[in-house]
Amino acid sequence: MQRHQNLIPLSHEHKSLLFVCRYLKKDAAPYEGYPLETSAKMDYMVKVFQEVMVPHIQKEDHLFEQCRGFSPEMDAMLDELLDEHRIISGMYSALVDSKDLVTDMDTLACNLEAHIRKEERIVFEKMQELLLEVLDKLKFD
């Protein structure tokens, strides 16, 4: 199914975040212009989380708020995604005290990747199926 026009910006951000996930994993392939040293990966992740992830989560929170209350199935999915947002944010915050930064960044990357794929493949598809009118009226300020 083609992505609804008002979900396209979120999907573009997901694409950027999926790159970050690949880059942060233990077995990351070298990417030209992206150093593989742990400290450089951490610096890059902090920058992306501040510039992309925080505003992205705010947009999703707004989206989820607008989609709530129409379908028990959708509400359950949204509750699950919000829990995952909290878990992922907690993993990110815990990196400051990490004793094994490589493993913890890999764990964060794997969790974030699974979360994004669930949003794209399951939740956004279900939103387009059940809540087309809500998506048509959606505005991100």
* Average pLDDT of span 12-26: 94
Q: In the structure, what pLDDT confidence band is assigned to residue 16 with cuts at 50, 70 and 90?
A: very high
pLDDT at residue 36, as a whole number: 84
CA atoms of 52 and 58, how far apart (whole Å): 10
Burial class (CB in 10 A: 0-12, 13-18, 19+), 63: buried
CA atoms of 95 and 9, how far apart (whole Å): 28
Q: Quick check: 136 pLDDT over 90?
A: yes
pLDDT at residue 127, as a whole number: 97
Would you give the DSSP letter of residue 122? Answer: I
pLDDT at residue 42, as a whole number: 92
Q: In the structure, what pLDDT confidence band is assigned to residue 70 with cuts at 50, 70 and 90?
A: very high
Q: Quick check: 141 pLDDT over 80?
A: no
Tens of pLDDT, residues 72-100: 999 999 999 999 999 999 999 999 899 99
Q: Which amino acid is at 24?
A: L
pLDDT at residue 140, as a whole number: 81
Q: In the structure, what pLDDT confidence band is assigned to residue 137 with cuts at 50, 70 and 90?
A: very high
Nearest to 61 by CA among 107, 122, 10, 110: 10
46 and 105 in contact (C-beta within 8 Å)? Answer: no
What are the residues facing 34 on neighbouring strands? 31
CA atoms of 139 and 19, how far apart (whole Å): 26
pLDDT at residue 47, as a whole number: 93
Mean predicted lDDT score pLDDT of the chain: 94
pLDDT at residue 29, as a whole number: 84
